[in-house]
Structure 1
Amino acid sequence: MSADNREQPEGRRPIGLYLGGGAFALVIGAVVAGSLSRPDPLSFVPTPVAPRPPVDHFVLDTVTVDARDGSGWVYFDFDKGSAVEGPLAGWDLAVNRYHIVVNGGTGYPGAGGAIATTAPWAAVTEAPAAGYETTEGALNDGPATPGLERWYTYGFFSHLLEPKDETYVIRTAEGRYAKLRILSYYCPQATPGCVTLVYGYQGDGTRRLTG
């Protein structure tokens, strides 16, 4: 029998097998540790529904829309600075859990639209004249506004939705303009469905998005 065909001595194992097994165990350990060390997300208490009189100037504000109940949509009106009671009251954004759509598109009464941009908040000083994406699909049939639909990233280990570093320009239902950033998707105790928005709304009808 040639030397190449000799059996290995009993009890001898290839070192590569051990190295491969060790690496696999390390990977599994990292995945388990990551899933157990879920960070606490930024969270906010829902803002009470309190519509204000319409404004004719630039307004900066932060609002937390309570969209925890996925059985229906919650409506927000920039002009009133608040959630409003149902679509007949006039609205600019509709929120259902992590879905956000504008009041514009086929079948919608408003002129709403959205543009997503990676520009910093302070750099967005004027709303574009065109390029706005409108809502596709009815509210009761899984609608989506392309400019707003993927505002988040999903954490594989944390299982949390994290807002993207984007500024959104919104054309409202009445054809006015606002800019917004999404700060968080969580209520206290990491309960999902509280969508917190910081926004600047121009009530004078111009495209200027500064005070």
Structure 2
Amino acid sequence: MRDGSEERAGGGRPVVLYVAGAAFLFVIAVVVAGSFVRPDPLTFIPTPIAPQPPVDGFVVDTVTIDARDGSQWVHFDFDKRSAVDGPLAGWDLALNRYHVIVNGGTGYPGAGGAIAIGVPWEAVTEAPASGYATTERALEDGPATPGLERWYRYGFFSHLLEPKDETYVIRTAEGRYAKLRILSYYCPQATPGCMTLVYGYQADGSRRLTG
């Protein structure tokens, strides 16, 4: 025999069931509402193509590469600190929308490689001596550089690509080194395809990644 301590409502159903049902509906409403709220991503204006004279030491810079045209790869050269007009001009990174690869691997002329460090950008003071991944497959066959191809998190509700809090060390086509962070994937008006990079490039050939 049950006593009267258990509250009941609506034909003997415990009140707790109604509370749980209401909480569930509230969570569903929040999730649905969140799917219609798109946050504003960090955006940057593309940097004009303007190759710079070579430097002798360590240089830090930020560049926004316009890779919106999915029909072609855009090439970036750390030594020139700029995007360059085509692969014949020499390049270290190639970008196509959200894809980023290095100039190294079978079928590529450079000695490039990439490695994810898992250390804050400011704390990376020396490039690793080994462990670099090179690019797999040719440009026309959907290439990828392991460690670089998953630089982002995908927002299920926002449908935006958010850069991971990750530092990459790049071995350039000439065998020099740079440290790299990806800041954003968006041009103004939240248009995708503008990759903004902050990097520190060591031009003297050493593995030292600090000024």
Give the TM-score of the pair, scaled to structure 1. Answer: 0.90
Match of 1:131 in 2: 131
1:52-131 aligned within 5 A: 52-131=52-131
Residue 57 of structure 1 deviates from its aligned partner by: 1.1
1:37-52 aligned within 5 A: 37-52=37-52
Match of 1:154 in 2: 154
Residue 130 of structure 1 deviates from its aligned partner by: 0.8
Higher mean C-alpha deviation, range 23-32 or range 176-185: 23-32
**Matched residues in 1 for 2:73 and 2:164: separation?**
23
Q: Are residues 1:144 and 2:144 paired? A: yes
SS in 1 for 2:33: helix
Query: What code does the residue aligned with 1:165 have?
Result: D
**Matched residues in 2 for 1:69 and 1:157: separation?**
25
The number of aligned residues is: 201
**Matched residues in 1 for 2:184 and 2:49: separation?**
19
- Percent sequence identity is 80
SS in 2 for 1:189: helix
Match of 2:5 in 1: none
Residue 21 of structure 1 deviates from its aligned partner by: 4.6
Residue 125 of structure 1 deviates from its aligned partner by: 0.6
Query: What code does the residue aligned with 1:157 have?
Result: F
**Matched residues in 1 for 2:27 and 2:119: separation?**
37
Residue 117 of structure 1 deviates from its aligned partner by: 1.3
Residue 14 of structure 1 deviates from its aligned partner by: 4.6
**Matched residues in 2 for 1:82 and 1:190: separation?**
23
SS in 2 for 1:45: coil
Residue 119 of structure 1 deviates from its aligned partner by: 0.6
SS in 1 for 2:54: coil
Residue 145 of structure 1 deviates from its aligned partner by: 0.4
Q: Are residues 1:164 and 2:164 paired? A: yes
Residue 200 of structure 1 deviates from its aligned partner by: 0.4
**Matched residues in 2 for 1:24 and 1:138: separation?**
50
**Matched residues in 2 for 1:69 and 1:28: separation?**
38
**Matched residues in 1 for 2:97 and 2:13: separation?**
53
Query: What code does the residue aligned with 1:74 have?
Result: V
**Matched residues in 2 for 1:100 and 1:122: separation?**
22
Residue 22 of structure 1 deviates from its aligned partner by: 3.1
Residue 28 of structure 1 deviates from its aligned partner by: 2.5
- Which sections of structure 2, spanning at least 5 residues, go unmatched? 1-9
Residue 62 of structure 1 deviates from its aligned partner by: 0.2
Query: CA offsets per residue over residues 138-194 of structure 1, 9 Å max, x none?
Result: 111111101211111111222111111111000000000000100000111111111
Query: What code does the residue aligned with 1:49 have?
Result: I
Higher mean C-alpha deviation, range 47-56 or range 24-33: 24-33
Query: CA offsets per residue over residues 14-58 of structure 1, 9 Å max, x none?
Result: 557755653442232112211122111111000000011222211
Give the TM-score of the pair, scaled to structure 2. Answer: 0.90
Match of 2:190 in 1: 190
**Matched residues in 2 for 1:130 and 1:174: separation?**
16
